[in-house]
Chain A
Amino acid sequence: MKRNAAATMMSRALMLAALLTAVPAVSSSQLGLPAYHVGKGPEAIAFDGANLWVANQFDNSLIELGVLDGRVLQKVQVGKRPVAVAFDGTNLWVANLFSHNVMMVRPEDATVVGRFAVGRGPGGLAVDGGDIWVANRESNNVTKLRASDGAVLGTFRVGLRPLSLAARNGSVWVVNQGSDSVTRLRASDGAVLGTFAVGDGPFGIAVDDASVWVTNFFGHSVTRLRASDGAPLGTYPVGDGPSGIVFAGSRLWVANNGSGSVTVLRPTDGRPLATLPVGRSPMGIGVSKTLPAGIGIWVTSVSTNSVALIDPRQLP
């Protein structure tokens, strides 16, 4: 199933036109982004180097979505309420919120090859070399697992309702939605290196060598912290209900769950470059690198059971 070439050109022209006007459309239906049907209630999406994997929380499935045409290539039943997925270089990991476990899935044949109990309400995943970190929303801690065999290497207390986490340069940054804070742990031993205030209801996180970026779901903003010491560098407005955030193509992409849009920010100063309507309830964002054209930004719509694709080449 290839995308219709004319529809593609039309949608790109519309996208460019929308970006050039001062008042972007509120409804996404005008824009015609390609959208692909997946399972029920998709929040989490991850790229495995070739294709995308989407966790569908209300039908307890993980599906592989082909990058070239958005077709469902494989499907596997996982645990209950899968809301996070990550790729460790070899295998996929899925966090099952109501099964209180994570599963390791072999991508080649979409087979569950491991099932490991973690804390209560696992809902966030991060990969740090040979380790997997899991954020447990109900037990307010994180679990460190060895990716090779799922052995639990440690459990470490963080703030309230840790939703997501990211690892970089020896630190693991954990977003505590219930505490309006981020906890920094030393990856080697889980020691708490600091706790930093962010905005209202922090949800998602993206890190690079210099900065930690956190979306504030209730605060309609993103907070930037300095990676070296957690110092606050700025707070920048985005849409309503910002959730997923990811670096791609030297920009930051933020899904605004409550505005039905994606805000594109310049990471050097948090300046908004564009706001793209993407349809109802966008939540997770994944980045693919194997489209012929280059990078693809894939956004899950948790209410419409679909994933939309944004082509970043259209941005200034």
Chain B
Amino acid sequence: MFNDKDTGDETTGFRLPSGKFDVPLVVSDKVFDENGQLFFDLFNLDGILGDKFLVNGKIQPFFQVHPRRYRLRLLDAGPSRFYQFFLTDLNSPGTTLPFWQISNDGNLLPKPIQVTNVLISVAERADIIVDFSQFAGRSVVLENRLEQTDGRGPNGNVRPAGQGDHLLRFDVVLPPVADNSQHPATIAKFYDLPTLEPPRVTRTFRFERGNGQWQINGRFFDCNDVRFRIKKNTAEHWVLQNNSGGWQHPIHIHFEEFQILSRNGQPPQGTQRSRKDVMRLGFNEEIEIFVRFRDFVGRYPQHCHNTVHEDHAMMLRWDIDETGDLNTEP
């Protein structure tokens, strides 16, 4: 999103790596048929896992880089896989290689945070800054260590370093060039999070199994069924719950972004303190969020962003209007 300090010029504003050093990495896993054509299983309803990993549409590419900082904009484009990205030197896999995360779901964090990995589910985004000068002359791999063998969700296992999926290899072989970007550790602040205010209503959404399929609060999606109405220019709290039998779902809410108030009773930590628009709802989790609505009215959905679940209607519709309602279990 446009903002006046994330300028695209590393000599101005926040001085983030820019131009050819600002690179989107759209990650997805695909299946190809015997003719080399992309194959999408039309009748899979659980979730699809591909056996070929693509970055920006190429299978396991290499990327020649200069030995300086890059901003890498990660997007999990699905269709269903969750990722936990690490940087791995295959010649020394046990070495932890930290980097900096600066945004979550397209929003700059309150300030950069040094991390060793980033976990994203389908449709989540994370911008990271990697300083390749420490790897000059070598290669380092963007590695997914989260194990997932079922389209419904990862099994919780994080594989040992080097034994994950190698999505992209950075070959730090280009010549040294000037780096006018600022070291993330010296960026004291990006933005404060928007202030909170007391909600007009708190609504609870239970993600469950019912009538042979997924439901939210015991009902299926019907685009003509307005599950609840929000009064414009008000704020709400939403509580999302998942039980032991549920799948894991990346839940995306349209139109307005939210802040996570708590996950299982704990306030968000680190990179989760952010404006977001997708939240990963795991087994037995309860997430409470703050959402503020402005004076746009209209019809909007919230839905699971596992593409396959989305395709068969794991969603619900809500409206913003002049009066709203106070339905706490829509």
Contact = CB atoms under 8 A, between A and B. Distances in A.
Nearest to B209: A258
B209 A257 contact: yes
B206 interface: yes
A178 B155 contact: yes
Most buried by B among A138, A140, A257: A257
B244 A258 contact: no
Interface string B275-299: 0000000011010000000000000
Contact of A281 (B46, B157, B208): B208
A98 B264 contact: yes
Contacts of A43: 243-244
Interface string B187-225: 000000000000000000010111111000110000000
A184 B59 CA distance: 41
Nearest to A27: B211
B152 interface: yes
A240 B209 contact: yes
B264 A217 contact: no
A144 interface: no
A203 to B, nearest CB: 7
B51 to A, nearest CB: 20
Contacts of B286: 58
B157 A163 contact: no
Contacts of A163: 244
A280 to B, nearest CB: 5
Contacts of A280: 208, 210, 218
B213 A80 contact: no
A83 interface: yes
| Interface footprint category on A | 20 to 34
Given A160-B155, A160-B157, A260 B241 contact: no
B219 to A, nearest CB: 10
Given A58-B241, A97-B284, A281 B156 contact: no
Contacts of A160: 155-157
B265 interface: yes
A303 B245 contact: no
Contacts of B264: 80-81, 98
A160 B147 CA distance: 11
Contacts of B208: 257, 280-281, 302-303
Contacts of B241: 41, 58
B156 A203 contact: no
Residue of A83, A138, A303 most packed against chain B (CB within 10 A): A303
Contact of B211 (A80, A203, A217, A258): A258
A81 B284 contact: yes
A302 B212 contact: no
A258 B156 contact: no
B272 to A, nearest CB: 16
A140 B156 contact: yes
B284 A303 contact: no
Contacts of B206: 41, 303
Contacts of A302: 208, 243, 245
A218 interface: yes
Nearest to B214: A258
Contacts of B46: 218
Interface in A144-165: 160-161, 163
A149 B212 CA distance: 44
Nearest to A97: B284
A161 B243 contact: no
A26 interface: yes
Contacts of B211: 26, 258-260
A207 B31 CA distance: 41
Nearest to A203: B245
A243 interface: yes
Interface of B: 46, 150, 152, 155-157, 206, 208-213, 217-218, 241, 243-245, 264-265, 283-284, 286
A-B pairs with lowest CB-CB distance, top 5: A258-B209, A178-B155, A241-B209, A240-B212, A302-B243
